[in-house]
Structure 1
């Protein structure tokens, strides 16, 4: 009887040990990922148990009524600290442009990415890539645009030259330690929408998976080993929808989605309800496949509700252990739409107090919180 009990306890110990190893595993899509990239992914896996990183698009480049001021960000103006994760975009590298799609000089972007890495912050990059078939912008959904970049497509070779330009960019990112800077890379973002040429209305699941796999393999073949690949949908409401275009667990490191608040949250709770449902779907898949999950883009333009951060956003995340939340950019005055375009408070914003309360919560992680964690070690 004692032997049986001992064997049972031993079996339970082995199972528990294996489960613990699975939870903290840092296996990446890129088996040749740099040590710093592996360390970052491992530490992001651990960090989500403490809370989620808060991020902001183009945080250091500009804000409401300012641009390119050294050391400044709207979040720092309000809270005294920088965000933990910073969003950038590669739009413009197709043509070796000096500036990205939002006018940010790539030279400056590289410098900021380096500064962020040096202080143990995290960089994430999307790519509003122009339509390769028509030469128009990312929002041109001309039929067959996506099919044109398939390996036998009419624009496949052009697509490869664009990828080569991004390869040069990624390989040029070095920290003060001389090491390649890890990037959370979010290609073909919001793929389940219908507003970009790469969205599901313009590609079959098989086509999308083929291009995604080709792209990842191409980067690896060119010696780019500092990328963590982020699969990013728009709002979907079922596991089947989320996985329909999914290229497989061996080609994805992080699961994420984008969703914005457009309605008055005191009258419409759909933002919270939809987010919770999708987080639940992703959380189940993540546990099955040993991934981490994130809220890759969100916000409420101009933030007209005084409890958006401490109530609406927090309630929409619930108890799910997510890696990060990234708010969209603070462009300021939008001439073409004749309105202000921003997603986090700036100094003097009427609802900045709610954001400060949000900042002060234990589970919201900003720059100082991640600096102390030494995420790349």
Structure 2
């Protein structure tokens, strides 16, 4: 590690999980308390350090279910207080909530999916207050070309590293993000811990930070600069998530090629979506399970957590996708969470225009399978996690 966390920050007690009607949770005792796990940020807030350590314990009980933009909108609704498509179906909220801060770099009022940043702050606060977990990605515009995140000419990363033509522009964008992270506070006045996934899916070829335009050395330098810069700006509520795609990753060597080092990473993850029907269902389960096993081995060797940070099957046209396909994909791997993408609803801008959603809603034909998935002892939703269990 760069430096060890102050001992006082780490001298917190692990709260006993107790029991729930839905799941028999393991009881903590002196015999099964875990060793303290150190974060990349040596000055991480007490709540951030507590969340990180408690996530190591929680994975013994199961994995958390997450949904992107869950509180902001769903199929045929938007900004209805307290509403969630997941809650409409199960009566319970997700345990993990995904958000994206794309367009924050330009000081825009709304993110790239149309969510006002002020509303996002409110949603993140609600999640923390009830004991859920927030994770943030950043589809950052291209600072070299002026295009969006998917505009990926050669040389962008080189241009924003120290000495590059766009370095100062990039620092200004990081300043905007730092201000946003420092504005996230709960009703208790504490900074809200965030699982932050910078430069996600970099093993693909679609973003300007991906490996087709960026060398391993450049990526590592970019990652380290970002972590160090946020720390210098006083941002100490981030848990850093190293997040590949499933593209170009088959072995542990593939996964670790761009790894910036244990002192800069807290969690390992990847994104993988279900594409196609028929034999593609079993192929997805097999491939995801293989990658989770590969990543779990790397995480165990480096003392990190793991997650399936983005996944899903658009419109969920298979009646057993949750209890068969996804459940088989995760298998016995002890991940922290799985997150499915957003419920946009009808999207006229897609080619072809179609319904675009990844979690079932109240009118979905196969919602019963999701209800059975919810009842599984291994899946954790909001009722299974609390502020006392995760942040103390």
What TM-score does the superposition give when structure 1 sets the normalisation length? 0.93
Taking only aligned residues, the RMSD between alpha carbons, in angstroms, comes to 1.3
- Map Cα deviations across residues 186-217 of structure 1 (whole Å, 9 max, x no partner): 00000100000000001000000000000000
Matched, 1:189 2:236: no
Q: 1:25 offset after TM fit, Å?
A: 2.5
Q: 1:265 offset after TM fit, Å?
A: 4.8
Residue 132 of structure 2 contacts residue 387 of structure 2 at CA under 8 Å; is this kept in 1? Answer: no
Residue 86 of structure 1 contacts residue 124 of structure 1 at CA under 8 Å; is this kept in 2? Answer: yes
Task: Determine which of 303, 327, 339 is the counterpart of 2:340.
Answer: 327
- Map Cα deviations across residues 6-28 of structure 1 (whole Å, 9 max, x no partner): xxxxxxxxxxxxx977x542200
Q: 1:372 offset after TM fit, Å?
A: 7.0
* Matched position secondary structure for 1:178: coil
Which deviates the most, 276-285 or 109-118? 276-285
Residue 91 of structure 1 contacts residue 130 of structure 1 at CA under 8 Å; is this kept in 2? Answer: yes
- Map Cα deviations across residues 16-57 of structure 1 (whole Å, 9 max, x no partner): xxx977x54220000110000000001111000000000000
Matched, 1:316 2:315: no
Q: 1:268 offset after TM fit, Å?
A: 4.8
Aligned residues: 358
- Map Cα deviations across residues 63-110 of structure 1 (whole Å, 9 max, x no partner): 000000000010010000100000000101111111011000000100
* Matched position secondary structure for 2:335: coil
Q: 1:326 offset after TM fit, Å?
A: 0.2
Q: 1:269 offset after TM fit, Å?
A: 2.0
Task: Determine which of 221, 224, 234 is the counterpart of 1:213.
Answer: 224
Task: Determine which of 100, 119, 131 is the counterpart of 1:120.
Answer: 131
Q: Aligned in 2, Cα 1:346/1:214: closer, same or farther, shift over 3 Å?
A: same
Residue 130 of structure 2 contacts residue 387 of structure 2 at CA under 8 Å; is this kept in 1? Answer: no
Q: Which residue in the other structure is 1:298 paired with?
A: 311
Q: Aligned in 2, Cα 1:181/1:268: closer, same or farther, shift over 3 Å?
A: closer
Q: Which residue in the other structure is 1:35 paired with?
A: 46
Q: 1:373 offset after TM fit, Å?
A: 5.2
Q: Which residue in the other structure is 2:159 paired with?
A: 148
- Map Cα deviations across residues 336-363 of structure 1 (whole Å, 9 max, x no partner): 1211100010001001000000001111
In the alignment, structure 2 segments of 5+ residues that lack a partner are 1-30
* Matched position secondary structure for 1:275: helix
Q: 1:374 offset after TM fit, Å?
A: 2.6
1:1-377 correspondence runs (5 A): 24-235=35-246, 236-266=249-279, 268-337=281-350, 338-371=353-386, 374-377=389-392
Q: Aligned equivalents of 1:265 and 1:196: distance in 2? A: 30
Which deviates the most, 222-231 or 268-277? 268-277
Structure 1 segments (4+ residues) deviating >6 Å: none
More helix by share: 1
